[in-house]
Amino acid sequence: MLAAFEQEAKQVNKPRLMITAAVAAGLSNIQAGYEIAELGKYLDYFHVMTYDFYSSGDGQTGENSPLYSGNNVYLSVDYAMNYWKSNGAPAEKLLVGFPTYGHSFNLQNPSNTAVGAPTSGPGPAGPYTKEAGLLAYYEICTFLDSGATQAWDAPQDVPYAYKSSEWVGYDNIKSFNIKVDWLKKNNYGGAMVWTLDMDDFTGTFCKQGKYPLITTLKNALGQQSSSE
């Protein structure tokens, strides 16, 4: 494919089409699915899906995209990206995944709201995304406005929130900025987002402007658009 793209670029006198791949962040999936060093020769970018580390099937609360490891050393953005890099993927080709959604849980005991607290299944579906156990960022803003308690998971550098038996682990502007600082220090190639339509694209839910998370990401990476 690379040779074909290079040939086409010469024929049409334009830059070569890029070859990228969205790749797993879970250790067992990485080990089972990829020849990392070999891929590094051909791919222009690895889009590492550094999210969905914890979800409602785990039986306990957990962060969707923790920067650093908590109870499980393998489940974090930092561990996954370091694994790809140390096993042959060039840092400048590695793009860190930033989620604009969170995973929600139903607490077994509403008085135990800690990270790692026992759960009895997914949290209720959001009014728009309509999927149990998942909330878009703009739905999380509505949850916060409804009187949910916000908390900061200091060891993992991401927030969570809870109200009665509902618990959600997610990312916000603060955690995005922390992750970008970490990304720059580790000289990774950049970032990718999943997904555009789960950010507050109208700017009406979170009162943080349109696309608050993605705008934060762009600004922190020095990618401000003059049209904004």
pLDDT mean over 205-219: 97
Residue 79 token pair: 């561990």
List, in order of start, the domains of the chain with CATH numbers. Answer: 2-220 (3.20.20.80)
User: Which of the residue ranges 4-8, 90-94, 128-132 would you say has the lowest mean pLDDT?
Assistant: 4-8
Phi, psi of 14 (to 5 degrees): -135, 165
Give the integer Cα–Cα distance in Å for 62 and 72: 10
What is residue 228's predicted lDDT score, i.e. its pLDDT? 39
CA distance 140 to 199: 10
pLDDT at 224: 61
pLDDT value of residue 225:
54
Identify each DSSP E strand in 73-198 by its residue range.
94-99, 101-107, 119-122, 134-136, 149-153, 158-163, 166-169, 190-194
Per-residue model confidence (pLDDT) at position 194: 98
Average pLDDT rounded to a whole number, residues 82-89? 97
Provide the token pair at 132: 């149990």
Residue 190 reports pLDDT greater than 80: yes
Share of the chain above pLDDT 90, in %: 95
At 41-85, the pLDDT tens digits run 999 999 999 999 999 999 999 999 999 999 899 999 999 999 999
What radius of gyration, in Å, describes the C-alpha atoms of the chain? 19
The helix, strand and coil proportions of the chain, stated in percent and rounded to the nearest 5, come to 35, 20, 45
Predicted TM-score (pTM) of this structure: 0.94
pLDDT for the residue numbered 223: 73
Residue 71 has a pLDDT of 84
Contact 198, 100 (CB under 8 A): yes
- Distance (Å, whole) CA 18 – CA 180: 24
Mean pLDDT of the chain: 96
